Chains A and B, each alone.
Chain A
Amino acid sequence: MAPGAPSSSPSPVLAALLFSSLVLFPAQAIVVYTDREVHGAVGSQVTLHCSFWSSEWVSDDISFTWRYQPEGGRDAISIFHYAKGQPYIDEVGTFKERIQWVGDPYWKDGSIVIHNLDYSDNGTFTCDVKNPPDIVGKTSQVTLYVFEKVPTRYGVVLGAVIGGVLGIVLLSLLLFYLVRYCWLRRQAALQRRLSAMEKGKLHKPSKDSSKRGRQTPVLYAMLDHSRSTKAVSEKKTKGLGESRKDKK
């Protein structure tokens, strides 16, 4: 928030904020983003991501610098440099044969890959980006931890369990309703066809031997259904009878 803005009423603060974001932002410095921590297993490779935000267009003179400070060490050494479209790997330190440039300045990406990790690689990596004329800004640091076996990140199992269970429940609910809907529709269609057949039968009583082939499925369906309706009606009469008995 802008310093000195009166905090008593919110509208001047808002105005000041808006003003600063509109007018002061272009003059603001370059901002570099990296992960905070990266975990890698011994012998594997790890990608150190680095991106940046700058108010200027990406210039041809853009440069990326990666520095490394070992865990417990005091001095940071430069291990990688990218300038004028060319990556340079510094000929000092333990990384000289293990660094690979995978970034692309036009995508604002200055990532590097470190191959064949070792326990001695634990430490802090600093990414610094200069995009002339936008050169003033903070660097960003990522700490590398090398493990024998990479532990699962916090929240992965949590999210997986919650998402999985919720997904399964939703899916089964959806499936249940779909099946019920289809079943009800089929039943309704069957009912309609049956009633139509009954009407037809009433009007034209004995005319079934001529077009047997075409009528068979309908007849089967009707037979099938008539049985069930009979059962239902039987049940109904039974129930009625029982209730009558009960009444008596």
Chain B
Amino acid sequence: MLLLLLGIIVLHVAVLVLLFVSTIVSQWMVGNGHSTDLWQNCTTSPLGNVQHCFMSSANEWLQSVQATMILSVIFSVLSLFLFFCQLFTLTKGGRFYITGVFQILAGLCVMSAASIYTVRHPDWHGSSGDSYGFAYILAWVAFPLALLSGVIYVILRKRE
């Protein structure tokens, strides 16, 4: 039982780290010399190692991507918090419904963020030839993991 509990917590923390990294790191799109993320647009000059960053556009779709990523982080943190609360307050045999629901919501949020980004990213940087960076891939990896841990929470029963 303890091992299972530990595994679940590790999974949850892993999801949380993935979400944080993919929200913050400036590697959603990488091309020759420049990389972009949800917040800024960075260009490395070909001569030196000078990096210029400026704020990304105020496109509505980009804002909704930012919003859903933030929401997924919020929901995942809330879920972890609720898990610890329920661990101590739940009666024997009860299920971690609320925890699971919030984790699944986090998964759905990150899914919608990644899919909006996939469909709409030409709107705010038209330059083609860029490829997706690792932060974008991490966001997609976080989605099934979050969903999985959410489902585990819902299935899980509390034991003494």
- A residues bordering B, Cβ < 8 Å? 151-162, 165-166, 169, 173
B74 and A166 contacting across the interface, CB-CB below 8 Å: yes
Number of inter-chain CB pairs below 8 Å: 35
Given contacts A162-B71, A166-B71, A166-B74, are A157 and B63 in contact (CB under 8 A)? yes
- Give Cα A166–Cα B74 distance, bound, in whole angstroms: 9
B58 to A151, Cβ gap below 8 A?
yes
- Between A and B, 27 residue pairs with Cβ closer than 8 Å are A151-B58, A152-B58, A152-B60, A153-B58, A154-B58, A155-B63, A156-B63, A157-B60, A157-B64, A157-B67, A158-B63, A158-B64, A158-B66, A158-B70, A159-B67, A160-B67, A161-B64, A161-B68, A162-B70, A162-B71, A162-B74, A165-B67, A165-B71, A165-B109, A166-B71, A166-B74, A169-B105
Residue of B with least CB distance to A154: B58
| Chain B residues, Cβ within 8 Å of A155 | 63
- Look across to chain B and name the residue whose beta carbon is closest to the beta carbon of A155: B63
**B44-78 with Cβ < 8 A to chain A:** 58, 60, 63-64, 66-68, 70-71, 74
B58: chain A residues within 8 A (beta carbon):
151-154
A152 to B59, CA, bound (A): 8
How long is the Cα–Cα vector from A161 to B63 in the complex, in angstroms? 9
With contacts A151-B58, A153-B58 known, is A158 near B105, CB below 8 A? no
Q: How far is the CA of A165 from the CA of B66 in the complex (A)?
A: 13
Chain A hits for B74, CB < 8 A: 162, 166
Q: Are A161 and B67 in contact (CB under 8 A)?
A: yes
Interface size on B, residues (CB 8 A): 13
A233 vs chain B, min Cβ distance (A) = 22
CA distance A152 to B67 in the complex (A): 15
Contacts of B68 in A (CB 8 A): 161
Q: Which residue of chain B has the shortest Cβ distance to A177 in the bound complex?
A: B98
Query: How far, in whole Å, are A151 and B68 apart by their CA atoms in the complex?
Result: 21
State A155–B71 Cα separation when bound (angstroms): 14
CA of A173 to CA of B97, assembled, Å? 12
A162 touches B67 (CB 8 A): yes
* Chain B nearest CB, measured from A92 CB (Å): 36
Task: Quote the shortest CB–CB distance from A166 to chain B (angstroms).
Answer: 7
Residues of chain B with a CB closer than 8 A to A152's CB: 58, 60
B71 and A158 within 8 A (CB): no
Name the distance in Å between A12's Cβ and chain B's nearest Cβ.
Answer: 39
Please name all residues of chain A whose beta carbon is closer than 8 Å to the beta carbon of B98 when the two chains form the complex. Answer: 173
Determine the distance from Cα of A202 to Cα of B148 in the docked complex, in whole angstroms: 55
Nearest 6 pairs between A and B by C-beta? Answer: A161-B67, A157-B63, A154-B58, A158-B63, A158-B67, A157-B60
